[in-house]
Amino acid sequence: MERTESLWLGRFWPDNWRYHTRMKVVGFLFTLPVLVFFLVFNIYPIVSAIVISFHEFDLFGPMTWVGLGNYENLAGNKNFWSAMRVTLSFTLFFGPPAWLIAFIFASLIREKLIGRFFFRSVFFTPTILSAVAMATAWSLLLRQNGPLNAMLGLSVSWLTKQDSALWGIVIMSVWQGVGWFMVVFLAGLQSIPQTFYEAAAIDGAGRWRLMRHITLPMLRPVFAFVVIHTIIAGMKVFTPMFIMTGGGPNNATRSMAMLIYHEGLRDLRMGRASAVSMVGFVLILILTVVQLRLFRVHEGIEE
């Protein structure tokens, strides 16, 4: 109790407050600025979006209650289902190649190779560059008669055909995302005690067995984090589509985030835009919870 009396706040404590109560209050006061920030910029917008999703609202006039009308509209709205398909496809096609390449890079960089610090910086650089600048540069690289096709000896219309445009965007996103995943994997790899490898090597384990029985199991929490991050980033993807194709050709790359932008700011249908964002929010929540559950189940079996 004496420890709090030196605090300026101490003079305001009610006499009957115990030490732990006072410490809780002090802790709360320290977190208050962040809490206020969180309430104003996170919770308030989320609650507003939920409320608006049950209304018709054009930003300028009053809101009109429509109940589940906006959600019912989505069920029969082909633009919504197209955006959902684009978003899920992007998440699925972007994640695994990015993880695989990042894991290989992290494994190589972890070795004591000449110039590994240089390569680490080179691979990470795309992550810190402007997404808009990168998307613009890649839209030049991906032209049918552009450098990428010339290098690979292909003649693919990466961004202008409906069945290849999303792949063009995935290629750019993998290139940009690999560096970040590599750093996460590298941190995970460096946290595995070297003694595990040494002990296994003494027992005659080869590289593959070390990978299978030590590295991959020990990296399970890292993989879980990476998968969740990919789901969240994939479900929110906006910039590459906006810059490289404007959602085209013929809506083949219009993601859910872009649909929200079109519905809300362009078409002034904030109610429907909020309903789409709520569906996205719930989808991310479900996928994340399922993923975490799966991870916990596996962990339990292991233990």
Catalog residues that contact other proteins under the rule CB under 8 A.
58-61, 132, 139, 143-145, 157, 159-162, 242-243, 245-251, 262, 265-268
Shortest Cβ 258–other proteins spacing (Å): 11
Which one, 135 or 174, has the nearer CB to other proteins? Answer: 135
Could you tell me which of 302, 298, 83 has the C-alpha nearest to residue 290? 298
Which one, 34 or 152, has the nearer CB to other proteins? Answer: 152
Determine the Cα–Cα distance for residues 258 and 11; give it in Å rounded to an integer: 54
CA 89-93-98 angle, to 5 degrees, is 145
Which one, 127 or 144, has the nearer CB to other proteins? Answer: 144
3-state secondary structure 75-91: HCCHHHHHHHHHHHHHH
Which one, 184 or 252, has the nearer CB to other proteins? Answer: 252
Q: Is the distance from CB of 116 to CB of 109 less than 8 angstroms? A: yes
Whose tokens are 């398909």? That residue is: 85
Shortest Cβ 39–other proteins spacing (Å): 19
Which one, 75 or 301, has the nearer CB to other proteins? Answer: 75
Which long-range contacts does 212-219 make (Cβ < 8 Å, 24+ apart)?
A: 215/189, 217/302, 218/188, 218/191, 218/192, 219/185, 219/188, 219/189, 219/192
Rg (CA), the chain: 25
Shortest Cβ 295–other proteins spacing (Å): 37
CA 70-38-277 angle, to 5 degrees, is 20
**What is residue 57's three-state secondary structure?**
coil
Shortest Cβ 91–other proteins spacing (Å): 23
Determine the Cα–Cα distance for residues 282 and 66; give it in Å rounded to an integer: 20
Which one, 173 or 245, has the nearer CB to other proteins? Answer: 245
Shortest Cβ 244–other proteins spacing (Å): 8
Determine the Cα–Cα distance for residues 213 and 197; give it in Å rounded to an integer: 10
Shortest Cβ 145–other proteins spacing (Å): 5
Which one, 41 or 208, has the nearer CB to other proteins? Answer: 41
Shortest Cβ 86–other proteins spacing (Å): 13
